[in-house]
Amino acid sequence: MVSFADVRRWKPEGLDAVHNDLGKRRDDLVNLQDELDGAKNPEGWSGKAADGSAKQHEKLVSDMRSLVAEVATVRVAVAAAADDVARIKQQIEQADHEAQANGFEITEEGGVRDVKPPQDVPEDQLEQVKQQRIQVRDKLVETIEKILDDAEKADAELAKALTSAEQDKIEPGKGGSLADAANTDDIQALAASAGKPKDDSPKAAAEWWKSLSDEQRAALRENPPEWLGNRDGIPAEVRDEANRGRIDDVRNDLEQQKRQLEQGGVSEDEKEKLQQVNDKIKSLDEVEKTIAKEDPPRQLLVLDSSGERMKAAVGVGNVDTADHVSVFTPGYTTTVQDSLGDYDSKMADLVKESKAELLRNGKDDSVAAVAWLGYEAPQKSEDTDVFGDSVVSSSSAQEGGEKLNNFYKGINQSRDTDPHLTAIGHSYGSTTTGYALQGGGHGVDDAIIFGSPGVGTNDIEDLHVPEGHAYRLEAKDDQVADFSRFGGDPSHMDGFKDLSTEKSNEGKGVEGHSDYLDTETTSQHNMASVVAGLPDNTVEGKTNGVGDVISYVPHQTQEAGSAIYDFGEKTVSGAKDLGEKTVSGIKDFFS
């Protein structure tokens, strides 16, 4: 029998730690598959010794499969229990608050004591007040009884799993591998009973996940369906577990594709495909290297090997619980294999600086930041005619913007409380960010663009960001920021607040296109202040590039929602030949 005093002392974080440890043990066991296969009798060995060895190997396989099944089953039970305990502890806190607000106290034994009865109650209201207090007391008693019932059930379910494991009553899942053994019939049944979201929207995914029982969620986390890790609206912690669990499968699929392409030599037509597969394998290497970082822990929120290039997103910190969450989208030439590690480090620096800014202002809020490489950014290997319908067309940004819009929505909708959410975009990634924001319904509280060739519109209201909460940064000699290819130059858009990139009391200045996120710079300080929800701490200032002093006349193109600026023959006084210099610089950047 579980006592109320026992329940008060329960700690869900302890169960979470056990759940994580069991996951590591399970993975260690499953990873012994190669050694197990290597221990089979060598081909051609026969006789009594060979027969005895074969029987011993068969028994070892059976024992290992049973052990894996037991660990998986107990892990599911522990995960469910952790969720139960967290919910029960929340109910106790709410009951304590209700009791205190009405002058009652819930004792260690679960009784209800009247410690502060109202004083000086008029005689004609005594009976009414008495009845009201009786109702409050009875409601508290009822709440405590329900808490104890829930606690008893949670305790019994966990004990059942532990007993079954101890008595070797758990049957491994079908299939010959150790991984198959973890997928027991009971776990399969629970996962199957969960069904699927009604559609692909983040809202549907969030509603579906929240509607499941603790046992169903635990079963899905133990053996997640392939789509779970990339589904916007699912909690970040769950996506991280699911995507980490898929890495080996994705790698095996890619290695198999590589072997098939290399059989009998590689034709000219297959060389490009083989290069894509090799790049995806390198991308997986970079993903594993990045998510192995632990200070702070990383979350793998996207792992998508479809298409020409790998897509990935890695969170620094806990996206499920952070008070402030930012999502950074990089641009042109970005790839997972060459860029993820660097941008992850920059997000870690941004988180560190944001937290330092909060502490400096007497706040202890938590911060998380995501490096989102969830779209296929244009590459130098593609057609790079900067003035043609190619790398600087908006197609990649528009397609990526739809995905990014859903990613924003998923963060908000997967949580019980909305975080302060900041969208950040650099270069072509700011264009992708612009299209994502134009999709609306994203819940973004602040937006930052830097080194931007345009956000796909000339009207800031199209971005659906609260007034006064859109920021832009432009560094000296950043010619891309004057490109004005997608909706015009943001430097000339009303509604953006200009933040300094020059030397100040808060940091060093930056120049060119690529150093905005460097540590100890004014630009990084400004972004960290916005991410931390402290815009008053920013350093305002505008740096005009060569393109900003050129007279321009907007004219419409066939590309919907965009305008390019005609550098034309007119230049302002003293700006002779600057138009030619700007175009040359942009061509150099994209070459």
Tokens of 198: 């009604």
> In DSSP terms, which residues pair with 564 in a beta bridge?
555
Pairing of strands 367-373, 324-329: parallel
What confidence tens digit (pLDDT) does each residue in 250-304 have? 999 999 999 999 887 778 878 889 999 999 999 999 999 999 999 899 999 999 9
| Whole-number Cα distances in Å, 96 to 9, 135, 217, 565 | 14, 16, 29, 64
Q: What is the 3-state secondary structure (H, E, C) of 514-578?
A: CCCCCCCEHHHHHHHHHHCCCHHHCCECCCCCHHHHCCCEEEECCCCCCEEEECCCCCCCCCCCH
> In DSSP terms, which residues pair with 28 in a beta bridge?
none
> Positive or negative CA dihedral for 555, 556, 559, 563?
positive
Closest CA to 299 of 320, 326, 285: 320
What is the DSSP annotation of 316-331? ES-TTT-SEEEEEE--
Per-domain boundaries in the chain: 4-223, 229-590
What confidence tens digit (pLDDT) does each residue in 391-450 have? 455 678 999 999 999 999 999 999 999 999 999 999 999 999 999 999 999 999 999 999
pLDDT at 492 over 90: no
What confidence tens digit (pLDDT) does each residue in 14-62 have? 998 998 899 889 889 988 998 888 888 898 899 999 999 999 999 999 9
Pairing of strands 367-373, 311-316: antiparallel
Assign a CATH topology to domain 229-590.
Rossmann fold (3.40.50)
Region of residue 41 (phi > 0: left; psi between -120 and 50: alpha; otherwise: beta): beta
409 class by beta-carbon count within 10 Å (0-12 exposed, 13-18 middle, 19+ buried):
buried
Helix (H) or strand (E) holding 89: helix 48-101
Enter the pTM of the model: 0.82
What confidence tens digit (pLDDT) does each residue in 208-232 have? 999 999 999 999 999 999 999 999 9
Separation CA 566–CA 409 (nearest Å): 37
